[in-house]
């Protein structure tokens, strides 16, 4: 009554185990009639190949690792990002018959490096997807490069022709958000930046500047506050901005968490939203829908990005015919109640 093995199938089908192996792995050069005999034996016995045996013999692990900034230790605890990445990665893994290992990590922690090395040693993954902002950190990518494990950067923030990556249009979409705000009549549009070490954040800021420029609004340093992506830094930024003689009529924050901080502060000061102040965020976290007023923001196609990263990773075993360059999947504006015309 123990699990049937490839031998059982071979016996039942009256062929060799190698032929069964061929059928199971969809290899060519098996006569159709043979194939269907084997298939029927397989389903009769409800045979499933033993993964460990297969991995051992084929020198692969069938494992894909997804690495992302641990939301439990991040200043902007955006679990929704992690979950969306997971969703897409899982989807692609399912299709490719791989299993997904998640590896949230806190890059501020000294032990990231050894943890990654141990992960590699233990699991020998077939491929790795590294999400922003970690995708831009050598500490994170080096262990994989050293071990010769193929990896794809998710949203690396700048193109590279040497390697494949999947990104989104941070800059362009931020420009678009800025133009949208301008189109509502806003001229004093502030920007709350996050950690500008993170490329995505830097790009968002550049997009903001571009957007202003396109609309003929001159950029003013005083309207840009740098935060650290946290709610509290959103609060602090709003406090400074709203204390100005002539406060901005719109505030665009580089993430939803800071936008929430801005919103709370504005409301505590008695401002009515959006009539007295428009607020926009970035990420479309779950939060955004539930704030009051609900938050206008930007949605990154994280699931799709992760999915396409994983499938690209797995599609080509050959080093050199893996695609190069960056695949860009555009983000979209999500207009909600927190933005409105200048009154």
Partner DNA sequence: CGACCAATTGACAGCGTTGTCAGTCAGCCG
Partner DNA sequence: CGGCTGACTGACAACGCTGTCAATTGGTCG
Binding site for its own copies (CB under 8 A): 48, 50-53, 55-56, 61, 63, 70-72, 77-80, 82-84, 86-87, 90, 97, 99-102, 104, 121-124, 231, 257, 260-261, 263-264, 267-268, 285-287, 289-292, 303
Which residues are CB-neighbours of 280 under 8 A, at least 6 positions away?
Answer: 177, 181, 250, 251, 252, 253, 259, 295, 296, 297, 298, 338, 339
CA distance 143 to 116: 7
Q: Out of 1, 31, 46, 343, point to the residue binding DNA (CB under 7 A).
A: 31
Q: Could you say which of 12, 41, 42, 47 contacts DNA (CB under 7 A)?
A: 47
The CB-of-179 to its own copies minimum distance in angstroms stands at 27
- Helical pair 6-13 and 17-24, crossing angle rounded to 10 deg: 110
Least Å from the CB of residue 11 to its own copies: 20
Partners of 99 in beta bridges: 63
Residue 37 or residue 123: which is nearer to its own copies going by CB? 123
C-alpha 236: how far from chain center: 28
CB of 107 to DNA, least distance (A): 30
Which partner from the list its own copies, DNA, none does 206 bind, CB cut-off 5 to 8 Å by kind?
A: none
Between 34 and 276, whose beta carbon lies closer to its own copies?
Answer: 276
> Taking contact as CB under 7 A, which single stretch among the options 47-55, 148-156, 241-249, 304-312 is the one that binds DNA?
47-55
**Residues 49, 71, 104, 301: which binds DNA (CB under 7 A)?**
49
Q: Is 34 in the site for DNA (CB under 7 A)?
A: yes
Smallest separation (angstroms) from its own copies to the CB of 297: 13
Per-residue DSSP letters for 233-254? HHHHHHHHHHTSSS--SEEEES
Degrees (nearest 5) of the Cα angle 56, 57, 61? Answer: 45
- Long-range pairs, 215-224, Cβ under 8 A, ≥24: 215/178, 215/179, 215/182, 215/183, 217/182, 217/187, 217/189, 223/188, 223/189, 223/190, 223/191, 223/248, 224/190, 224/191, 224/192, 224/193
- Collapsing DSSP to helix, strand or coil, 196 comes out as coil
Among its own copies, DNA, none, residue 43 binds (CB under 5-8 Å by kind): none
Told to check if 40 binds DNA by CB under 7 A, we report no
CA 122 to chain centre: 24
How many other β-carbons are positioned within 10 Å of the β-carbon of residue 254? 33
Crossing angle of helices 32-45/17-24, nearest 10°?
90
Q: Segment contacting DNA (CB under 7 A): 43-51, 114-122, 173-181, 232-240?
A: 43-51
Smallest distance, DNA to C-beta of residue 296, A: 51
Residue 231 interacts with, from DNA, its own copies, none (CB under 5-8 Å by kind): its own copies
Q: How far apart are the first and last CA of the chain?
A: 76
Using the minimum distance from each CB to DNA, give the nearer residue, 39 or 228: 39
According to CB under 7 A, which one of 1, 26, 46, 57 is a site residue for DNA? 57
Residue placing its CB nearer to its own copies in the complex, 76 or 209: 76
User: Cβ of residue 27: shortest distance to DNA, in angstroms?
Assistant: 8
Cβ nearer to DNA, comparing 17 with 102: 17
147 binds DNA (CB under 7 A): no
Binding site for DNA (CB under 7 A): 2-3, 5-7, 14-19, 21-22, 24-25, 28-31, 33-35, 47-50, 53-54, 56-59
């Amino acid at each position: 009554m123990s699990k049937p093995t490839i031998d059982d199938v071979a016996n039942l089908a009256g062929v060799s185990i190698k032929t069964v192996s061929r059928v199971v792995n969809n290899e060519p050069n098996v006569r159709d009639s043979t194939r269907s005999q084997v298939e029927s034996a397989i389903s009769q016995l409800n045979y499933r190949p033993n993964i460990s045996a297969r991995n051992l013999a084929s020198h692969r692990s069938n494992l894909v690792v997804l690495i992302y900034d641990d939301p439990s230790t991040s200043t902007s605890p955006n679990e929704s990002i992690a979950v969306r990445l997971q969703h897409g990665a899982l989807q692609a893994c399912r299709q490719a018959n791989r299993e997904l290992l998640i590896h949230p990590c806190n890059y501020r922690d000294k032990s990231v490096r050894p943890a990654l090395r141990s992960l590699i040693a233990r699991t020998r993954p077939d491929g790795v997807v590294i999400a922003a902002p970690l995708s831009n950190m050598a500490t994170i990518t080096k262990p994989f490069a050293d071990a010769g494990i193929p990896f794809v950067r998710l949203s690396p923030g700048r193109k590279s022709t040497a390697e494949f990556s999947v990104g989104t249009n941070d800059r362009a979409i931020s420009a678009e958000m800025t133009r949208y705000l301008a189109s509502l009549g806003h001229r004093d549009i502030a920007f709350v930046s996050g950690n500008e070490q993170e490329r995505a954040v830097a790009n968002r800021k550049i997009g903001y500047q571009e957007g202003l420029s396109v609309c003929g609004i001159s950029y003013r340093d005083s309207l840009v506050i740098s935060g650290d992506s946290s709610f509290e830094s959103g609060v602090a930024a709003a406090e400074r901005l709203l204390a100005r003689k002539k406060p901005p009529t719109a505030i665009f924050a580089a993430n939803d968490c800071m936008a929430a901080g801005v919103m709370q502060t504005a409301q505590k000061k008695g401002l009515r939203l959006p009539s007295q102040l428009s607020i926009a965020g970035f990420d479309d976290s779950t939060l955004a829908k539930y704030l009051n007023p609900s938050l206008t923001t930007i949605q990154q196609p994280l699931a799709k990005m992760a999915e396409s990263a994983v499938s690209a990773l797995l599609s080509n075993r050959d080093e050199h015919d893996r695609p190069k360059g960056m695949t860009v999947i555009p983000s979209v504006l999500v207009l909600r109640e927190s933005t409105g015309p200048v009154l």
